[in-house]
């Protein structure tokens, strides 16, 4: 397995974790009744439905990681882009998404 494959697998798994965590956070807020503290009451249903989309996208990222692991070529849509080669840039970008999750779960 090449370094490029390992890198792409890691990126897909990080995306899977972040998307899944956002979905679980929405479900957590809905189950505890705290969702209305963050969202307009008229939009609660839409936000709950968005959790389904987040879970679906997370599953897609997991599937992409598994396909990369097995060496299966991705679809020929050419819609994916290479992540930055800079560790600091990747840490910053993923941190922008992970920080609100961490703050939400610890509060």
In angstroms, the CA 46 to CA 39 distance is 10
Span of 2-11, 65-74, 91-100 with lowest mean pLDDT: 65-74
How is the chain split into domains, by residue range? 3-106
- Express each pLDDT in 16-68 by its tens digit: 999 999 999 999 999 999 999 999 999 999 999 999 999 999 999 999 999 98
Helices (H) and strands (E) counted in the chain, each on its own, are 3, 0
Output the six-digit token pair for 83: 């992540």
Q: What is the mean pLDDT of the chain?
A: 91
More confident position, 79 or 10: 10
What pLDDT was estimated at residue 75?
Answer: 60
């Amino acid at each position: 397995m090449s370094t490029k494959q390992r890198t792409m697998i890691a990126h897909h798994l990080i995306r899977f974790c972040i998307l899944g965590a956002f979905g679980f956070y929405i479900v957590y807020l809905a189950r505890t009744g705290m969702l209305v503290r963050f969202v307009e009451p008229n939009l609660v249903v839409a936000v709950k439905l968005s959790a389904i989309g987040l879970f679906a996208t997370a599953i897609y990222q997991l599937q992409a990681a598994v396909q990369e692991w097995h060496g299966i070529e991705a679809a020929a849509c050419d819609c994916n882009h290479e992540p930055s080669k800079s560790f600091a840039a990747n840490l910053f970008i993923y941190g922008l998404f992970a920080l609100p999750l961490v703050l939400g779960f610890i509060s």
